[in-house]
């Protein structure tokens, strides 16, 4: 069964002033979610929008979430972009399905995992 | 669809699509059956993935809670920190004209408050190239001009 695709908008960044216009949407961070039942695989996307030509400029007050996602998706290549991502995420969903129901078993002596407190971690992470 | 490999109308129709009776006028460049461009995708590396935990860092990092839920991800591409992907720990991330993909699992490490899973990483990029440049977009058109034409 082919995964269902949902787009989610996470961040919108604007130029407060650009080529005579105010509040021009310039960058979007969004996610393409591939889901199959309870399983989800996410594709993060950061899209820089082309703001060199603003002849069809829409004032920010009239810009909807759907419009921003449409702009972002189109800038990445539209349906072709999603289909390019799909095989990887279908594979990820296959793995999630195969792993479902597995629980750790500690009845066999196990070696501890390596501990690396100084290894690169994500700096912004709040724990 | 495909590529015209023979000098006959049936092969043109099979390769480019089209209706019967076959008329060459439906095969102008820029029309629905003879596109002007094609998207080329390059995978780096061409198969498998890159993985290096020392300089230059090249790996995909997935951060888990002790309960096993992924909470974040980040990537390093030959020393370049691709950033904190967030948003539910995606397994691909598109930025700057490239899509980076999580490759195969390599190593699990304990952090202070989390578990870190390290994977290989690979990326793809897409570009648009002109095609069918020998096919006229109007006027007279011949079978020989369609030889090699493609409809991806």
Look at residue A66 and tell me if it is in a domain: yes
Predicted ipTM beyond 0.90: no
- Counting residues of chain A whose pLDDT is more than 70, the rounded percentage is 90
Q: State residue A127's pLDDT score.
A: 41
Same domain, B48 and B31: no
Q: What is the pLDDT of residues A76-109, one digit of tens each?
A: 999 999 999 999 999 999 999 999 999 989 899 9
Pick among B85, B100, B106 to test the A interface (most A CBs inside 10 A): B85
Rounded Cα distance between B89 and B83, Å, is 12
Same domain, B142 and B76: no
Look at residue B65 and tell me if it is in a domain: yes
Look at residue A11 and tell me if it is in a domain: yes
Q: State residue B87's pLDDT score.
A: 64
Rounded Cα distance between B40 and B36, Å, is 13
Helix (H) or strand (E) holding B10: helix B9-16
Same domain, B24 and B68: no
Same domain, B82 and B112: yes
CA distance B134 to chain A (A): 26
Same domain, B57 and B103: yes
Whole-number mean pLDDT of chain A? 89
Q: Which domain holds residue A21?
A: 4-98
Contact assignment for B91 to A89 by CB distance below 8 Å: yes
Based on the structure, what is the number of domains in chain A?
Answer: 1
Same domain, B96 and B21: no
Same domain, B70 and B28: no
Look at residue A127 and tell me if it is in a domain: no
Contact present, B119 and B11 (Cβ < 8 Å): no
Cα nearest neighbour of B55 on chain A? A120
**Residue A117: band (very low, low, confident or very high) from pLDDT cuts 50, 70, 90:** low
Look at residue A24 and tell me if it is in a domain: yes
Q: What is the pLDDT of residues B120-138, one digit of tens each?
A: 999 999 888 899 999 999 9
Chain A residues in contact with B122 by the CB 8 A cut-off are none
Reference B46, options B147, B129, B123, B145; nearest CA is B123
Rounded Cα distance between B109 and B87, Å, is 22
Same domain, B46 and B112: yes
> Which is higher by pLDDT, B20 or A109?
A109
**Residue B18: band (very low, low, confident or very high) from pLDDT cuts 50, 70, 90:** confident
Whole-number mean pLDDT of chain B? 88
Look at residue B77 and tell me if it is in a domain: yes
Look at residue A79 and tell me if it is in a domain: yes
B88 touches chain A (CB under 8 A): yes
Q: What is the pLDDT of residues B30-51, one digit of tens each?
A: 998 999 998 888 999 999 999 9
CA distance A47 to chain B (A): 7
Based on the structure, what is the number of domains in chain B?
Answer: 2
Q: State residue B44's pLDDT score.
A: 95
Q: Roughly what angle, to the nearest 10 degrees, separates helices A65-76 and A79-99?
A: 100
Contact present, A60 and A14 (Cβ < 8 Å): yes
Same domain, B13 and B75: no
A87 touches chain B (CB under 8 A): no
A116 touches chain B (CB under 8 A): yes
- Counting residues of chain B whose pLDDT is more than 70, the rounded percentage is 99
CA distance A23 to chain B (A): 22
Q: Which residues contact B50 (CB under 8 A, 6 or more apart)?
A: B58, B59, B77, B78, B103, B120, B121, B122
CA distance A83 to chain B (A): 12
Look at residue B2 and tell me if it is in a domain: no
A–B CB contacts, 8 A cutoff, strictly below: 99
Q: State residue A79's pLDDT score.
A: 92
Q: What is the pLDDT of residues B73-83, one digit of tens each?
A: 999 999 999 98
Q: What is the pLDDT of residues A52-80, one digit of tens each?
A: 888 889 999 999 999 999 999 999 999 99
Q: Closest partner residue to B92 among A88, A122, A125, by Cβ?
A: A88
A45 touches chain B (CB under 8 A): yes
Look at residue B151 and tell me if it is in a domain: no
Look at residue A64 and tell me if it is in a domain: yes
Same domain, B118 and B53: yes
Q: Does pLDDT of A115 surpass 80?
A: no
Same domain, B30 and B55: no
Contact present, A24 and B71 (Cβ < 8 Å): no
Q: State residue B126's pLDDT score.
A: 84
Look at residue B29 and tell me if it is in a domain: yes
Q: State residue B123's pLDDT score.
A: 96
Q: Does pLDDT of A124 surpass 60?
A: no
Q: Which domain holds residue B85?
A: 42-127
Chain B residues in contact with A85 by the CB 8 A cut-off are 92, 94, 99
Q: Does pLDDT of A5 surpass 90?
A: yes
Look at residue B3 and tell me if it is in a domain: no
Following CA atoms B69, B75, B76, B82 in sequence, which dihedral angle do they give, to the nearest 10 degrees? -140
Look at residue A111 and tell me if it is in a domain: no
Contact assignment for B110 to A116 by CB distance below 8 Å: yes
Antiparallel, parallel or unpaired: β A39-48 and B92-95: parallel
A120 touches chain B (CB under 8 A): yes
Rounded Cα distance between A72 and B138, Å, is 35
Same domain, B71 and B140: no
Contact assignment for B63 to A125 by CB distance below 8 Å: yes
CB-count burial class (<10 Å; 0-12, 13-18, 19+) for A45: buried
């Amino acid at each position: 069964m082919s995964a269902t695709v949902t787009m989610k908008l996470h961040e919108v960044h604007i130029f407060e002033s650009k080529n005579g216009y105010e509040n021009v949407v310039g960058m979007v961070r969004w996610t393409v979610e591939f889901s199959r039942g309870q399983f989800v695989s996410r594709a993060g996307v950061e899209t820089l929008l082309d703001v060199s030509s603003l002849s069809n400029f829409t004032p920010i007050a009239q810009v909807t979430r759907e419009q921003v996602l449409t702009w972002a998706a189109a800038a990445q290549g539209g349906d072709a972009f999603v289909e390019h991502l799909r095989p990887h995420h279908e594979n990820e969903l296959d793995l999630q399905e195969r792993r479902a129901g597995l629980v750790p078993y500690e009845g066999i002596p196990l070696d501890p995992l390596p501990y690396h407190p100084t290894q690169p971690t994500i700096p912004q992470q709040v724990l | 669809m495909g590529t015209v490999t023979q000098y006959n109308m049936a092969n043109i129709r099979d390769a480019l699509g089209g209706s019967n009776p076959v008329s060459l006028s439906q095969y102008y460049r820029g029309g629905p059956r003879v596109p002007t461009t094609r998207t080329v995708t390059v995978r780096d590396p061409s198969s498998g993935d890159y993985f290096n935990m020392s300089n230059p860092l090249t790996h995909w990092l997935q951060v888990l809670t002790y309960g096993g839920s992924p909470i974040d991800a980040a990537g390093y591409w030959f020393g370049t920190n691709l950033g904190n992907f967030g948003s539910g720990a995606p397994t691909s991330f598109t930025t700057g004209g490239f899509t980076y993909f999580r490759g195969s699992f390599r190593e699990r490490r304990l952090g202070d408050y989390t578990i870190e899973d390290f994977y290989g990483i690979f990326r793809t990029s897409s570009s648009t190239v002109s095609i069918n440049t020998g096919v006229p977009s109007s006027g007279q058109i011949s079978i020989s001009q369609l030889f090699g034409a493609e409809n991806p």
